[in-house]
Each structure stands twice: as structure tokens, then as C-alpha cells.
Amino acid sequence: MEISTTIEEQRASEERRAFSWRTVAYGFTLSRRHTHRRSVDDEVIFLDWHHPWLFFLATGTMVLSCADAFLTLLLLERGMIEANPIMNAIMAQGTTVFTSIKLAMTAFGIFVLVFLAKAQFLNRLRTGLFLTTFFTFYACLVCYELVNLLRLS
């Protein structure tokens, strides 16, 4: 009886799985769960670790989005028009509002796509492929804007 009472007292102490900022820092720097533990968990898509390629795509897409916003403002100063009617309406509010909303929307989209990178879309495509598609789209868009900027200069 004494042994079971001692174990119960030990378990009644502080919860070791309590959330704190140390948990976040430790999980970010020393994440251990790269794959699922059991084959039953194959449907679970949330892991502690993501492939470095996703970091490259996420960071690259965000940088290209910043370049797109900057080049868009330069092209608008030189007489071009905004083809996207939604962004054109936002642009009427001012350049600060335009850049803030554009970058916030992009950052939120990237966050969701990285979070769901292992998910299957329509049981066929991994969601991480969408991040590759957006990166490619932004790269082509920035190239198009640079060509137009050089042509107008």
C-alpha cells in the first residue's frame, strides 16, 4: 500500500506537460517528431518538423510578395494600372493600407499552407504543392513586372 500511495503523491505534483514559452522555444529548436510514431497515425498530418524545402518556399514566396508590392507601386507611378480589381479598391485607401493588407494576406496564406503541408487535397495532391505553385506564380509575376519596368524606363 505504501508504494502505491507514494506513486500517487508523485503524480499529484506539478503537471509536466504544462504549456509555457519554454515549451515553444524547445519545440522550435529541438523538435523531435519528424514522422509518425505508429502506422495508425498515418492520417495525422501535424508534425513538429517540416522539410527545409518548405521553409525556402515560404520565405521565398514572402520575399517575392514584398518585391511584387514594391514593383507594383513603382509601375503605378509610371502610368500602369492595377489589373486586380480587389487590389485596386484596396489601393484607393492608400499605399500603407495596400502593402499591409497584401503582405498580411500572403503571410496568412503561407502559414496555413505550411501548417497543412502534409494534408491531401481532394485525396490526390499534397497541400505543400500549392506553396510551390504560389512561389512559381510570384517569381513569374516579379519577372513580368521587372520587364515592364525596364521597358518603361
Question: What is the pLDDT, as a whole number, of residue 148?
Answer: 92
Could you tell me the mean pLDDT of each successive run of 10 residues in the chain, 153 residues long?
56 58 62 55 55 84 94 91 88 91 92 75 71 91 93 83
Domain that holds residue 27: 2-152
- State the pLDDT at residue 103: 93
Contacts of 20 (CB under 8 A, 6+ apart): none
Provide the pLDDT for residue 83: 86
User: What pTM was estimated for this model as a whole?
Assistant: 0.66
For residue 122, give the C-alpha cell: 481532394
| Domain count along the chain | 1
Q: Where are the alpha helices (DSSP H) in 12-153?
A: 21-29, 52-77, 85-91, 95-115, 128-152
pLDDT value, residue 144 = 94
Separation between Cα atoms, residue 57 and residue 7, nearest integer Å: 49
The pLDDT of residue 22 is 66
What is the per-residue burial (b if ≥16 Cβ within 10 Å, else e) of 105-129? Answer: ebeeebeebbebbbeeeeeeeebbe
